[in-house]
Amino acid sequence: MVAFQTMVEAQLSPGESHRSQRSGWLRAAVLGADDGIVATASLMIGVAASNAPAAAVLVAGLAGLVAGALSMAAGEYVSVSSQRDAENADVALEIQEHIRDPEYELAELTALYIHRGLEPGLAEQVAEQLSNHDALAAHLRDEFGFTADRRARPSQAAMVSALSFALGAAAPILAVVVAPATVRIPIVAVVALLVLALLGVAGAHAGGAHRGRGALRVVIGGGLAMGATALLGRAIGGVGL
């Protein structure tokens, strides 16, 4: 029994890292970098396809980097703040319910454990022990799935998405700087697709998913976006706008 308890404590040690605990910042990082690469590369390819000078293509890329990073940060902050507000509202409601009727809350927790497969007597015992330790934490965890590492973090999401967008956008911008004018569009497209593939592999690895599938889905999406803006830029350049 002692050996089993030691094993359980080791498994629950603070140093253990599960992939699901990364979901908040990982989502923001992958989304930001993907948007940075696709949006900036597509923007510059569209401008270049219109026969604009190199300086205009570079300015478009830099403007896209700044605007996109700030937009991503603002959007993530607002979105995740809304999620955090909903979580805080649930916490406040749960506190009121514990103050008003703790016996009902204990019965509710017991019923929850019975529903998950515990025998009624054991479920009642577990609910009582967890409630004696921290009733609010037990309800938040088992009713709502709220834990310290799963709560929404607006500032973290905003900073991660802005930084990852800027880093992603830097790749096609650097490609424009070094590429000869005659092959500017294909160089930017190839660099962007390669970085997208690496991003897809890295994101899939961090999330424990299939790497090839992760790379393929971002490459297809990015390729379609760049192709569409290239056609639009060529059409606009062709009519002399």
Nearest CA among 235, 201, 233, 192 for reference residue 49: 233
Sequence-ordered list of residues with C-beta below 8 angstroms from that of 95, at least 6 positions apart, any chain: 136
The rounded percent of the chain whose pLDDT value lies above 70 is: 83
SS3 string of 8-55?
A: HHHHCCCCCCCHHHHHHHHHHHHHHHHHHHHHHHHHHHHHHHCCCCHH
pLDDT for 4 equals 33
Place of tokens 């002692």: 2
pLDDT for 115 equals 87
pLDDT for 6 equals 39
pTM of the model: 0.71
Q: What is the pLDDT of residues 78-117, one digit of tens each?
A: 988 888 888 888 888 878 888 888 888 888 888 888 988 8
Task: Give me the residues of the chain with pLDDT under 50, please.
Answer: 1-22
